[in-house]
Structure 1
Amino acid sequence: MVRRVLVIGAGASGLVCIKTCLDEGLEPVCFESSDDIGGLWRFESESERTSIYRSLVTNTSKEMMCFSDFPMPADYPNYLHNAQLLQYYRLYADHFGLRRHIRFQIKVTHARPRPDFSQSGQWDVITVDREGLEEKHIFDGVLVCSGHYTQPICPLGEFPGHEQFTGRCLHSWEYKDADDFRGKRVVVVGIGSSGGDLAAEISRSAAKTFLSTRKGAWVVGRMSSGGLPLDMIAISRFTNTLKNLLPKRLINWASERVLNQKYDHRLYGLMPRKRILDGGVLINDDLPGRILQGGLVMKTNLCGFTASGLVFEDGTVEEDIDAVVFCTGYRAVFPFLPLSLSDGPGGELSLYKRVFPPSLEPPTLAIMGLFRTKGPIMPIVEMQVRWALKVFTSSCHLAIKERMLCVIDSERRIFMGR
């Protein structure tokens, strides 16, 4: 019988996992490798761990992203600065007494099924503290909440001539603020959420900023009709019903027409390859304005380096570049888990409904928050952990392994086809 549950990480996902375990009458033990809660959302100017940059503001509103049983304070703005969101996590943890279940500066180095796993479902876990002291534990279930922003992907080696480039190259996980780029010529590579934010922010300090993209993006502001937050309008039963009833081509045409009437994406160098319903949406209030003012110049895909510059796909070259910031994403890695679970393409985890490895029987390990969504993540993680604990305690059951593998393969083909 599942009783003692390990929670790895005390970020947003870890906190709600602890809370839900307590609601279900289970005994949660959370190991957090740093000295405080908050995970990715705890800004640190000097740190070797991944954390956000100083100016980061949420892309989802407080009304949509809060936990179901703990509304955000009324005096909070609709979109939160990272310091306010961290304060919300502190309020949440204190209100429900979660801190006493967290052990700080403890890193999980090993989590393996016990020899009798097929009968007990238990896990052997090894941790190490800041002094290097190892400790062994046994848990009935494991909830992995360490996130997918763990290993930066920096494709520098893929570009010819990078060895001779004399400027600075860094990944966005190293970026804290624009002070280091004041008066310089900077290229930002990638137009995801970080790429858009960093390019706009750096362009206010740098002498010239370029944003290189291979796929473009549909740029949408945080404010929607009537001055309401975008997600409150875009994510609703009504809009979901319309998407199911109306032809996809019609929705794409109408949505893209509205955005292009505000600023022509092709004229601004932002025109994406994907239709709007197929992804490629960037929530950013500043990017088009910075392009319009000339502080930011759009460039095509990066192709290579010279000694002091960069070569782009359209044949143009920008010389005298001081720094290149790669906003090229992260790879989710879980070195403490068995390698046998990383059986997907490129060694990724294959997960049923983005939660359960189908090869584990009984299913007493679940991965939290390892997905991308068009809306807020926190409410979805809350639903994930409720489901996971029901499976842990046999209150509900998963499909047979063959069916789970079929679903995983189908979802992967749909994703790759986008």
Structure 2
Amino acid sequence: MSLCIIGAGTAGLCCARHSQLHGFQITVFELSERIGGTWVYNEATKVKNGIDVHSSMYENLRTNLPKEVMGFPDFEIPENDVSYYIKFNSYVIRVLQKNKKWQVLVKDLLTNQIEFQYFDKIMVANGHYHTPNYIRIPNMNRFQGDYLHSHDYRTSGIFKGKTVLVIGAGPSGMDLSNIISRSAARVSLSHHLSDIENTKFYDNVYQKPDVRELDEKGAFFVDGSYEEFDTIFFCTGYKYAFPFLTVNSGIYVEENYVQGLYKHCINIRNPTMALIGLPFYVCAAQMMDIQARFILSYYNGSNQLPSREDMLKDTQTRMSKLWEDGYRKRHAHMLGPKQIHYFTDLAETAGVKNIKPVMTKLHNESSKCFNDNLLHFREDNFAILDDETFVKLN
């Protein structure tokens, strides 16, 4: 049985590894010339080979998670006479269901040759840190300074001597505020979060509330204050984007909520398609591994999927609880401390091995350390003692 995987980053490689073990004939289409996805540093920004640059990696980026939670549950790939086949520099233009197959239209970026290929099943692993999300601020068109999104940031030299307004205090916004402050004259971090008020930044980084509106030279904030800036630096995250999926694929995105999915990954309308790696604030590699094993338990015939009606009901019940708890659509795939419940649900539903609880415990601890000790949390050193327990060594 043939299986197409879009993307050779962390998610795609994980899918390929498990699909290989189950005997699928695999083709992986990768936009770039290397494996690694968003983790491959690329000095280029904007457009390359006529395609938007995928990676958002910047110079000197260091992971904000302990290395222990970033590996796969089973790192080594066993010896096998058949390997998966990765086609690099392959731009997937369109994925269309046709005659009970998935027709994939692919362009070779080196030769410009276009071809059709057909697959029984397809796993979409194109990541979700590639399409910038810009928030709307009143009178944005009036500002005469520079705009930049973290997707297009590579080195801090561009901010030398400048006053910079950073918008957004997620992991990237907090990390980059400190990094660029070594070059910038002043950095103001605008956000509405309550749990980082006491976080310590470098001396020339100042926390500000949300921006009310802009004028030609700067920003008015909701507390009534005003500051002038040379550059507005958007660290406002990314949009889920699947430009190669047709409108009848069964998948659509509304306010960054990818809809039509069972357990965040299986296409309810067309279950021979699955999307890997959507949930965030998680042990990403570990999560992708259990998602791949969950999906393949149905694709290889070990399990039988519920009816479309039952999958829809399961999804509606889960999402209704989120809305009742005050979540917005853009939070639909946010797990954080609740990630262990998702992993357990996948494991119990499909009868696959769960992720070791220590991984989620360590992930949650590191997230807390990130806020509490932003300047020095990367100096922490951990050791995993068993499936449930870790210790901090320093």
Structure 1 residues 247-326: aligned runs within 5 Å: 265=197, 268=198, 288-290=200-202, 294-319=203-228, 321-326=229-234
- Specify which structure has the bigger relative contact order, considering alpha-carbon pairs within 8 angstroms and separated by 6 or more residues: 1
TM-score calculated relative to the size of structure 2: 0.75
| Structure number having the greater strand percentage | 2
Q: Is the 8 A contact 1:18 1:98 kept in 2?
A: no
2:101 pairs with 1:192 = no
- Cα–Cα, structure 1 residues 163 and 97, in superposed 2: closer, same or farther, change >3 Å? farther
> 1:330 — aligned with what?
238
2:119 pairs with 1:139 = yes
Secondary structure of 2:107's counterpart equals strand
> 2:93 — aligned with what?
109
Structure 1 residues 54-73: aligned runs within 5 Å: 54-70=59-75
Higher mean C-alpha deviation, range 389-398 or range 306-315: 389-398
- Cα–Cα, structure 1 residues 65 and 49, in superposed 2: closer, same or farther, change >3 Å? closer
Alpha-carbon distance in structure 1 between the residues aligned to 2:321 and 2:123: 27
Alpha-carbon distance in structure 2 between the residues aligned to 1:216 and 1:188: 17
Structure 2 counterpart of 1:296, one-letter code = V
| Structure number having the greater helix percentage | 1
Structure 1 counterpart of 2:129, one-letter code = Y
Q: Which of 18, 27, 30 pairs up with 1:29? A: 27
Q: Is the 8 A contact 1:11 1:40 kept in 2?
A: yes
Alpha-carbon distance in structure 2 between the residues aligned to 1:312 and 1:96: 60
TM-score calculated relative to the size of structure 1: 0.71
Q: Is the 8 A contact 1:191 1:216 kept in 2?
A: no
Alpha-carbon distance in structure 2 between the residues aligned to 1:51 and 1:351: 26
For this pair of structures, how many residues does the alignment match?
315
Secondary structure of 1:102's counterpart equals strand
Alpha-carbon distance in structure 1 between the residues aligned to 2:273 and 2:205: 46
Secondary structure of 1:19's counterpart equals helix
- The answer for unaligned runs of 5 or more in structure 1 is 72-91, 219-264, 269-286
Among all aligned residue pairs of Structure 1 and Structure 2, give the percentage whose two residues are the same amino acid: 32
Structure 2 counterpart of 1:302, one-letter code = V
Alpha-carbon distance in structure 1 between the residues aligned to 2:289 and 2:322: 24
Alpha-carbon distance in structure 1 between the residues aligned to 2:253 and 2:43: 35
Question: C-alpha displacement at 1:95, in angstroms?
Answer: 8.3
2:292 pairs with 1:385 = yes
- Cα–Cα, structure 1 residues 296 and 364, in superposed 2: closer, same or farther, change >3 Å? same
Question: C-alpha displacement at 1:25, in angstroms?
Answer: 1.5
Q: Which of 310, 314, 318 pairs up with 1:407? A: 314
2:152 pairs with 1:174 = yes
Question: C-alpha displacement at 1:188, in angstroms?
Answer: 0.3
Question: C-alpha displacement at 1:15, in angstroms?
Answer: 0.9
Secondary structure of 1:348's counterpart equals strand
Structure 2 counterpart of 1:18, one-letter code = A
Q: Is the 8 A contact 1:167 1:322 kept in 2?
A: yes
Question: C-alpha displacement at 1:100, in angstroms?
Answer: 6.0
- The answer for unaligned runs of 5 or more in structure 2 is 46-52, 328-394
Q: Is the 8 A contact 1:191 1:217 kept in 2?
A: no
Secondary structure of 1:126's counterpart equals strand
Deviation per residue, 1:331-365 (Å, 9 max, x gap): 111121222323464483321101112112xx211
Runs of 4+ in 1 over 4 A off after TM superposition: 94-100
Structure 1 counterpart of 2:280, one-letter code = R
Structure 1 residues 208-219: aligned runs within 5 Å: 208-218=186-196
Cα-Cα RMSD: 2.2
Alpha-carbon distance in structure 2 between the residues aligned to 1:323 and 1:98: 52
Question: C-alpha displacement at 1:410, in angstroms?
Answer: 2.9
